Structure 1
């Protein structure tokens, strides 16, 4: 542990017992921990929006954060790390917009000076990006530095590149559109969304049915519920079946344009047995009683007398067995899962109430069938979802990933966005990663 970390930990420990959020914020502010101080002032204002001391503390803490941030910007710029300096300055002006504050005094002067340097860097970067064959990199640049661009009043200057960028984007759009046909349903959706974002709307056509996906799931049930006292499990089972259907409908395997039913075979066996026996519990205790003294009939003496207290007790023997499983053939891949709960329990009860022997009424502690059943149902639902995802990834992120002109790339990306092959494809075609494309266009 470093010395600074130890000091911070000691300070936080010292103020942890204090009730006042403002007091904690003040102490952190005095220690130079402005971000943590601001968090406490914000919590105080959430409880009391009119707390004047918290308002003042928050303003001071944010001023310090901006001042410190601008020092970071200057140091990065002087070290010729202009990209990091611009990123830090973007964060500062974004925070100012969100906090609805304007810099003043020395802070404002420093910010204007750094903004001038950033303005030149932004123009240089924009000019370079505008010469690349990737218009999406320019759009990502505008998105990442949108607050700086606005503060530096660069929108009109950057707009001079839009005609060229739009022309290149249209070429990309037409290139993608030429690939859309047959079973390339994901490519169709992506291309239409991409073209629309670049003001080139397209109405594309593929096969009416997606041969690889399913438009519904049919559950073939084999149900054997011998429950007696556990009839509520029937309702839980019905809810479980609904959760399987919901999981399937929310998976990538489902599509209204799917061409087939997924047949899921579901087996459940549930047995609950409860036997009860009664017996009489007997317990003895002693009492001190006065009896005539045999040696002196006119006197009595104290003797201990044994008494018996008898009361009926019921003993219950329980046994619960639940076994549930599924299996299906999903795009020629076999999936299956199972879960079980097997419990035995012995419990007793009585209604006796006898203080002398510390005997109180006792309720039976039966098995919690609802919790046991729900645990099995939840496990199997989780396994089913995992199987759906794993099978999708095996099918579309395997050897066929580079085929179909990007169709399988897009299918794989929906579940595995960090796949190297996926990001290589996006970088080669658009100059940005899949995650960055998703940020720009919501794909």
Structure 2
């Protein structure tokens, strides 16, 4: 066990050192975003390392500084939108990382915020005049840290009543586009309307196209009793890996049943084992000599001592643990077949034990070091459930992005569902532009 812990510690240290080295290389190449990434990985492995903490803090500061240079370059090139987005992103990072800027950096930040605030003021006034209430509301969230400086308060306050009225009108129009089956469009509707001070609710019926939760039948699964985990506990562990998939909703009342079959095997056997220990000794050569005073007395006289090696053998045991598993899981989801397998051939762990005590060779009783069954068992099924999630994803995209669903859904519900897993699909793009006049990535910011 001590050896096992040592190996883990060395592995973590090696990973930490590798990430730190990569971070150092990225700093030298002035790739500060990558440097921050690698230092954060190293910090997670070893949060008490002061050197890593200092390097991470320095890299974050350099990243913010580089971003500010980029902000200024965008602004001077009259790319105001890019400049404002990059500035707001930098302010978000500073807030999240709790970075305190020195006087020079603070002066630069204040200057860029002022420029961005004046530009945003004109942009908000233009959007309000054009009654582009969705992009106006999106801008309030996209540039929230710039707005916090106060340069846009008057414009926002003056425009808010009209913007809210227009947004609330679209909320009412959206309501006519769905029915009790509009589960995902309903969530969009609620999030959208919250931007305009309108809290709304609508009763949804149980949706036949979705499932309440996954359940796994294990009647055809065999788990060796010596493992210490029963079938129910194992199935619940697998369920945790897919329970948050979009196919499962509390607006449905029918579970999706999976059938799990196969065997998880653990065997342990003990066989005799002989241990040999070689130790240094001496072979002594004697000469028999008669006593001068009494010839009847014969004495031994040491002529020489020859160094030799001797072997001592002791009896002990060899403990052999063998593990393997083969699993198959499947489910019928409407017209889609969900199936995955996981196979692992015999893996052998061998450990030894004896009760010998031999001080000359520093040999003491040896206890067996058995495999960590919990750690081994925790990995079983992970690869299989990854494949299950891929099948669920494919079924979702096929049903709601490609129109293969057997359930007829109201307008925009397919697009709202498609966006859950394939936001770049043309169906999602067209819906976002048609109904909100925004790209979907902009709509997500508005709905957040």
| TM-score where L is the length of structure 2 | 0.68
Equivalent position SS for 1:376: coil
396, 403, 426: which one aligns with 1:399: 403
Question: How far apart in 2 are the matches of 1:196 and 1:306?
Answer: 86
1:171-190 map, 5 Å:
171-190=169-188
Q: By how many angstroms is 1:434 displaced?
A: 2.9
Q: Which moved more, 1:384-393 or 1:409-418?
A: 384-393
Contact 2:323 2:347 in 1 (8 A): yes
Question: How far apart in 1 are the matches of 2:86 and 2:274?
Answer: 81
Match of 1:220 in 2: 217
Structure 2 unaligned segments of length 5 or more: list them.
1-23, 33-48, 292-296
308, 312, 316: which one aligns with 2:315: 312
Q: By how many angstroms is 1:336 displaced?
A: 1.8
Q: Which moved more, 1:429-438 or 1:125-134?
A: 125-134
Taking structure 1 as reference, are residues 231 and 299 closer, same or farther at Cα in structure 2, changes over 3 Å only?
A: same
Question: How far apart in 2 are the matches of 1:385 and 1:92?
Answer: 35
Equivalent position SS for 1:388: helix
Q: By how many angstroms is 1:265 displaced?
A: 0.8
Match of 1:246 in 2: 240
Question: How far apart in 2 are the matches of 1:388 and 1:334?
Answer: 9
Taking structure 1 as reference, are residues 377 and 8 closer, same or farther at Cα in structure 2, changes over 3 Å only?
A: closer
Match of 1:58 in 2: none
Match of 2:28 in 1: 9
Q: Deviations over 1:295-314 (max 9, x none)?
A: 87533144779977442233
Match of 1:263 in 2: 257
Equivalent position SS for 1:211: coil
Q: By how many angstroms is 1:361 displaced?
A: 3.7
Contact 1:96 1:102 in 2 (8 A): no
Contact 1:214 1:258 in 2 (8 A): yes
Match of 2:283 in 1: 288
1:14-163 map, 5 Å:
36=58, 39=61, 69=68, 73=72, 77-87=75-85, 107=107, 111=111, 115=114, 121-132=119-130, 134-149=132-147, 151=149, 153-163=151-161
Match of 1:374 in 2: 378
Match of 2:6 in 1: none
Equivalent position SS for 1:344: strand
Equivalent position SS for 1:399: coil
Q: By how many angstroms is 1:94 displaced?
A: 7.5
Q: By how many angstroms is 1:399 displaced?
A: 3.4
Match of 2:436 in 1: 430
Contact 1:282 1:308 in 2 (8 A): yes
Taking structure 1 as reference, are residues 134 and 224 closer, same or farther at Cα in structure 2, changes over 3 Å only?
A: same
Taking structure 1 as reference, are residues 418 and 356 closer, same or farther at Cα in structure 2, changes over 3 Å only?
A: same
Taking structure 1 as reference, are residues 420 and 294 closer, same or farther at Cα in structure 2, changes over 3 Å only?
A: farther
Question: How far apart in 2 are the matches of 1:261 and 1:411?
Answer: 19
157, 162, 168: which one aligns with 2:166: 168
Contact 1:328 1:334 in 2 (8 A): yes
Q: By how many angstroms is 1:395 displaced?
A: 2.5
Question: How far apart in 1 are the matches of 2:215 and 2:337?
Answer: 16
Q: By how many angstroms is 1:178 displaced?
A: 0.8
Q: By how many angstroms is 1:39 displaced?
A: 4.2
1:334 aligns with 2:327: no
Q: By how many angstroms is 1:262 displaced?
A: 1.3
Q: Deviations over 1:77-131 (max 9, x none)?
A: 5543343455566578879997788989x9599939x83x656533432233234
Question: How far apart in 1 are the matches of 2:109 and 2:336?
Answer: 66
Equivalent position SS for 2:127: helix
Match of 1:30 in 2: none
Contact 1:322 1:373 in 2 (8 A): no
Q: By how many angstroms is 1:141 displaced?
A: 2.0
Question: How far apart in 2 are the matches of 1:295 and 1:345?
Answer: 63
Taking structure 1 as reference, are residues 39 and 202 closer, same or farther at Cα in structure 2, changes over 3 Å only?
A: closer
Equivalent position SS for 1:210: coil
| TM-score where L is the length of structure 1 | 0.69
Question: How many residues in Structure 1 have an aligned counterpart in Structure 2?
Answer: 389
